[in-house]
């Protein structure tokens, strides 16, 4: 075998590995968006590797990250989960702070202030409530400072492609996490006569909290298996 043929084989194998990586990240981010409560079809979430190649691979054999972007709307169940329950003081509460989500896979080999500003401006101009930016490299600290600066206009989350190669919630050692609605949170605190600050805590940076897009003040129900009780639940406050 000539050196040129050997080079082409290695190049093709590297391309196949890259395609498989992107497909796995694609599936995980779709599962993540659906698990949060956004509306996605099974065909969108469970795309096969072959269908992924047909959809996103160009004639040169590489996958176009620019074409992998997508958006999704919150389901009725998600809207209810984020809604404030009516009270005597406020019988007609404002609409829930939730809306369309937009996901983009960025192909840039460096991600700084320019890319983050462009992403934030796009989200704002298109009225996307939340944006997820998936990158192949770490984002600069200066660019990350833009996220809290635009939080009043749009929510931005970032993930590395390597973070999405495996869906952590599918691991047998990770218990089931279920976000409580505001109404369920109120009922829980009343039942046990607690303030939310008395609950155990889960950090926003926790991998499962990031997967679910938890916000400060939200309460998540964690369901674990038990040899004696079958299943038992605990609750944690996101801080």
Of 8-17, 55-64, 140-149, minimum mean pLDDT range: 8-17
Q: How far apart are the first and last CA of the chain?
A: 59
pTM exceeding 0.95: no
Across 162-189, average pLDDT: 95
pLDDT number for residue 59: 82
Confidence of residue 225 (pLDDT cuts 50, 70, 90): confident
**Domains along the sequence of the chain with CATH:** 3-166 (3.40.1340.10), 171-238 (3.90.940.20)
Mean pLDDT of the chain, nearest integer? 93
Say if residue 221's pLDDT is above 70. yes
Say if residue 3's pLDDT is above 80. no
In sequence order, what are the beta bridge partners of 133?
A: 104, 158
| 46, 167, 189, 209, 228 from 150: Cα distances, Å | 33, 29, 32, 21, 48
pLDDT number for residue 139: 97
Taking only the tens place, the pLDDT of each residue in 89-134 is: 888 888 999 999 999 999 999 999 999 999 999 999 999 999 999 9
pLDDT number for residue 19: 94
pLDDT number for residue 8: 65
Across 194-207, average pLDDT: 96
Q: What percent of the chain has pLDDT over 90?
A: 82
pLDDT number for residue 11: 66
pLDDT number for residue 9: 63
Q: Show the CA angle centred on residue 78, arms to residues 82 and 216, nearest 5°.
A: 40
* Tokens (6 digits) for 223: 């369901």
Taking only the tens place, the pLDDT of each residue in 7-52 is: 666 666 767 899 999 999 999 999 999 999 999 999 999 999 999 9
What's the farthest any 2 CA atoms get from each other in the chain?
81
Say if residue 6's pLDDT is above 80. no
- Which residue is associated with the tokens 């944006």? 131
pLDDT number for residue 238: 98
Confidence of residue 58 (pLDDT cuts 50, 70, 90): confident
pLDDT number for residue 1: 58
- How far apart CA 16 and CA 36 sit, in angstroms, is 30
Confidence of residue 86 (pLDDT cuts 50, 70, 90): confident
């Amino acid at each position: 075998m000539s050196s040129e043929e050997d080079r082409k084989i290695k190049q093709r194998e590297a391309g196949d590995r890259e395609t498989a990586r992107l497909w796995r990240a694609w599936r995980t981010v779709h599962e993540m968006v659906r698990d949060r409560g956004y509306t996605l079809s099974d065909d969108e979430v469970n795309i096969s590797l072959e269908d992924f190649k047909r959809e996103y691979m160009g004639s040169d054999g590489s996958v176009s990250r620019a074409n992998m972007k997508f958006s999704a709307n919150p389901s009725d169940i998600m809207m209810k989960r984020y809604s404030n329950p009516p009270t005597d003081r406020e019988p007609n509460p404002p609409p829930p702070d939730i809306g369309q989500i937009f996901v983009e896979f960025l192909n840039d080999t460096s991600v700084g202030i320019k890319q983050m500003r462009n992403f934030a401006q796009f989200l704002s101009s298109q009225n996307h409530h939340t944006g997820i930016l998936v990158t192949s490299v770490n984002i600069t600290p200066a660019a990350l400072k833009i996220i809290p600066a635009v939080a009043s206009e749009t929510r931005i989350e970032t993930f590395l492609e390597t973070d999405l190669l495996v869906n952590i919630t599918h691991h047998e050692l990770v218990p089931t996490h279920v976000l409580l609605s505001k109404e369920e949170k109120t009922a829980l605190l009343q039942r046990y006569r607690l303030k939310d600050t008395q609950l155990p805590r889960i950090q926003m940076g926790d991998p499962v909290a990031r997967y679910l897009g938890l916000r400060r003040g939200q309460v998540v129900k964690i369901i674990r298996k038990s040899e004696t009780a079958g299943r038992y639940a605990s609750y944690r406050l996101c801080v």
